[in-house]
C-alpha cells in the first residue's frame, strides 16, 4: 500500500553521503555528549527530584532515578543502533520511514513537534520567570506574561518579552552554524554541571544520616496510602515522575548528519550523555534528601520548585551564594535545552522537506553557514508566538507524550529492521533483541497510559490536524511516491 511505502537503507545512506546537499559535518563525540547533557539537564533536576521524593519515593529517589534511567536506556540503545546505521538528520522520523513506511514516519515527525517546538516554547516561558526572580522582579508584570494571565490586583500581561528574547538570541546562534552553537552549548553545560557538582560536594558535608532512615517511605505514612506512594511501589511511582528529567537525549540523534564520524560518535553521544546525567542525578538526589528530610518538600510553604534554594537557606549556613548560583544553573540549563530543542526541530523538518512531505523552504541551506536558516526563522515565529502570548501551563505534558511516542516507535523499528535487513552493516548493535526493544515499548507505553486524559485527547487532536496536512500536501508531493 502506497501509504506505507518505505525508503530503502541504500537510498538513506546515499543521501547521508551527499556532502553538497547535506548539512556540514562539524561535531565530534565530545560535542555530541555535551549536546545530550545540554538537552537533558534543565530545571527538571532541581524540580522533579523534590517532587518525586515528597510524593512517592522519599530518600529512595536515588533508586527512582536508576529505574527511570534503565527505561531510557532501552530506548537509548535502540536509538544508538539506528543513528550509527543511518547517519542522517531526522531522528525517529527517518528511522520510521525506513522500517514502518511513510504514513507512520509522518505521524512520528508530527509528534516530534510536540517534543521540540512546544518544549522550546514552554521552557522559554519558564526561563523568563526565573530571570525575573534572579532580577528581584525588576521586569514589569505586563512585559513578562501573556495576555491571558493576570494578578489579583488587576494587572494584565501584554507580551512575554524575555521569552521572545532568548528564542531570538538562540535562533540567531543556530543560523550562525552548528559548530558555533555546539561551542556555546558546551560552555553552558560546563557552567551548569559545575554548579551541580558544587552543590553535591558542599552539600555532602551537611548530610544528616537520619534523613536517610528509613530509606523508603514506610507503609502507613499519612498521605501515602497508595501502592505507588510508599515502599518499592513508591520507587516506581517516583521513577514515573523523574523520567521526564531525562527527556532530551534523543535530540542527539537529530544531529547525525552533522557528526564527523557518526558510526562511532552517535552511540557515544546518546549513551554517554545518558550515563553522565544518570550519575549526576543519583548523587544530587542523595545529597538533597540527606541535607533536608524528604518530608520537608511535601510542605507547600517550602515549595517543591524552590526546594534546592530552601535546602541551602535552611540547612547549609554560610553558603547563600550557592542559592544564587543554583538559579544561574537553572537559567543555563533552560538555555541549552531551548537551543537543542530548536536545533532538533529544524533538523526533523529538514528531513521531512527533503522527502517532499513539507515545503522546500524547510530544507533550504544558508549559502555560507550550511544551516536550514529559513526553517529556523519560521520556527522562531511559531515558537515565539506561543512563548510570547500563551501561558506555559497550556502545553502541559504534551511535550512528554510526543517524546514517549517516538521512543515506542523507535523500539518497534529495531525489531522490524532486524527482520527486513538482517545483513545490513550495524556499527553499533542493540543487545538482546527483541528483549531490549520490547522492554522499551512496555516501559514507555506505561508512561503514556499514566498521563492524564486531557493530554491524551489533546495529542489525538494534534495528530488529526497532522493527518489532514499529510493527505492535503505530504502524500501528494512525496518524492518517494513521485519517483
Q: Which of 73-87, 156-170, 444-458 has the highest mean pLDDT?
A: 156-170
Q: Is the pLDDT of residue 424 over 60?
A: yes
User: Average model confidence (pLDDT) for the chain?
Assistant: 85
Query: What is the secondary structure of 178-242 as a DSSP string?
Result: HHHHHHHHHHHHHHHHHHHHHHHHHHHTT--GGGGSSSSPPTT-TT--SGGGSHHHHHHHHHHHH
pLDDT value at position 17?
A: 65
pLDDT value at position 184?
A: 84
Is residue 6, in this structure, part of any structural domain at all? no
Is residue 61, in this structure, part of any structural domain at all? yes
Q: What's this model's pTM, rounded to 2 decimal places?
A: 0.79
Mean pLDDT of 393-404: 68
How far apart CA 321 and CA 288 sit, in angstroms, is 17
Q: Is the pLDDT of residue 204 over 90?
A: yes
Q: Where are the alpha helices (DSSP H) in 243-306?
A: 262-291
Cis peptide before 214 (omega within 30 of 0): yes
Q: How confident is the model at residue 18 (pLDDT cuts 50, 70, 90)?
A: low
The CATH number of the domain holding residue 407 is: 1.20.1740.10
Cis peptide before 150 (omega within 30 of 0): no
pLDDT tens digits along 315-337:
998 898 888 888 888 888 888 88
Mean pLDDT of 50-56: 86
Mean pLDDT of 117-144: 84
How far apart CA 315 and CA 302 sit, in angstroms, is 13
pLDDT value at position 248?
A: 74
17 vs 429, more confident: 429
Is residue 403, in this structure, part of any structural domain at all? yes
* Domain with 227 in it: 26-477
**Burial class (CB within 10 angstroms; exposed 0-12, middle 13-18, buried 19+) of 317:** exposed
Is residue 129, in this structure, part of any structural domain at all? yes
Is residue 5, in this structure, part of any structural domain at all? no
Q: Is the pLDDT of residue 393 over 60?
A: no
How far apart CA 312 and CA 293 sit, in angstroms, is 13
pLDDT tens digits along 220-247:
888 888 887 889 888 888 887 787 678 7
Is residue 398, in this structure, part of any structural domain at all? yes
pLDDT tens digits along 56-82:
899 999 999 998 898 888 988 998 888
Question: How many domains, in total, are found in the chain?
Answer: 1
pLDDT value at position 13?
A: 72
Question: What is the percentage of the chain residues whose pLDDT exceeds 70?
Answer: 93
Q: Is the pLDDT of residue 453 over 60?
A: yes
Mean pLDDT of 254-260: 77
pLDDT value at position 16?
A: 64
Provide the 10 A C-beta neighbour count for residue 440.
26
Mean pLDDT of 20-29: 70
Is residue 203, in this structure, part of any structural domain at all? yes
Is residue 34, in this structure, part of any structural domain at all? yes
Amino acid at each position: 500500500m502506497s501509504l506505507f511505502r518505505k525508503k530503502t537503507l541504500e537510498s538513506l545512506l546515499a543521501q547521508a553521503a551527499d556532502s553538497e546537499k547535506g548539512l556540514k559535518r562539524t561535531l565530534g563525540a565530545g560535542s555530541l555528549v555535551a549536546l545530550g547533557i545540554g538537552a537533558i539537564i534543565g530545571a527538571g533536576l532541581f524540580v522533579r527530584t523534590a517532587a518525586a521524593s515528597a510524593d512517592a519515593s522519599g530518600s529512595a529517589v536515588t533508586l527512582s532515578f536508576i529505574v527511570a534511567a534503565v527505561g531510557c536506556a532501552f530506548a537509548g540503545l535502540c536509538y544508538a543502533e539506528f543513528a550509527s546505521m543511518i547517519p542522517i538528520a531526522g531522528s525517529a522520523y527517518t528511522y520510521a520511514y525506513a522500517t514502518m513506511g511513510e504514513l507512520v514516519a509522518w505521524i512520528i515527525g508530527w509528534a516530534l513537534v510536540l517534543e521540540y517546538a512546544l518544549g522550546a516554547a514552554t521552557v522559554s516561558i519558564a526561563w523568563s520567570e526565573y530571570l525575573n526572580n534572579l532580577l528581584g522582579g525588576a521586569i514589569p508584570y505586563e512585559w513578562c506574561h501573556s495576555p491571558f494571565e493576570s494578578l489579583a490586583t488587576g494587572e494584565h500581561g501584554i507580551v512575554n518579552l524575555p521569552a521572545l528574547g532568548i528564542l531570538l538570541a538562540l535562533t540567531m546562534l543556530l543560523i550562525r552554524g552548528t559548530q558555533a552553537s555546539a561551542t556555546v552549548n558546551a560552555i553552558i553545560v560546563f557552567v551548569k554541571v559545575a554548579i551541580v557538582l558544587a552543590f553535591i560536594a558542599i552539600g555532602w558535608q551537611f548530610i544528616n544520616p537520619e534523613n536517610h532512615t528509613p530509606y523508603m517511605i514506610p507503609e502507613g505514612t499519612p498521605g501515602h496510602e497508595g501502592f505507588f506512594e510508599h515502599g518499592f511501589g513508591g520507587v516506581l511511582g517516583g521513577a514515573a515522575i523523574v523520567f521526564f528529567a531525562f527527556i532530551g537525549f534523543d535530540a542527539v540523534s537529530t544531529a547525525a548528519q552533522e557528526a564527523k564520524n557518526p558510526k562511532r560518535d552517535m552511540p557515544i553521544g546518546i549513551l554517554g550523555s545518558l550515563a553522565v546525567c544518570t550519575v549526576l542525578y543519583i548523587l544530587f538526589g542523595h545529597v538533597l534528601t540527606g541535607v533536608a528530610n524528604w518530608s520537608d518538600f511535601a510542605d507547600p510553604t517550602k515549595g517543591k520548585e524552590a526546594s534546592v534554594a530552601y535546602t541551602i537557606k535552611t540547612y547549609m549556613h554560610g553558603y547563600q551564594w550557592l542559592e544564587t548560583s543554583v538559579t544561574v544553573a537553572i537559567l543555563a540549563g533552560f538555555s541549552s535545552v531551548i537551543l537543542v530543542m530548536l536545533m532538533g526541530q529544524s533538523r526533523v523538518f529538514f528531513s521531512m522537506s527533503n522527502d517532499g512531505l513539507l515545503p522546500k523552504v524547510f530544507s533550504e541551506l544558508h549559502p555560507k553557514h550550511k544551516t536550514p536558516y529559513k526553517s529556523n526563522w519560521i520556527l522562531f515565529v511559531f515558537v515565539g508566538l506561543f512563548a510570547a502570548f500563551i501561558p506555559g501551563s497550556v502545553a502541559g505534558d504534551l511535550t512528554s507524550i510526543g517524546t514517549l511516542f517516538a521512543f515506542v516507535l523507535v523500539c518497534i523499528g529495531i525489531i522490524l529492521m532486524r527482520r527486513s535487513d538482517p545483513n545490513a552493516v550495524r556499527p553499533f548493535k542493540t543487545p538482546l533483541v527483541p528483549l531490549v526493544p520490547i522492554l522499551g515499548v512496555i516501559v514507555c507505553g506505561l508512561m503514556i497510559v499514566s498521563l492524564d486524559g486531557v493530554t491524551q485527547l489533546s495529542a489525538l487532536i494534534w495528530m488529526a490536524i497532522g493527518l489532514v496536512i499529510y493527505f492535503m500536501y505530504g502524500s501528494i508531493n512525496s518524492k518517494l511516491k513521485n519517483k
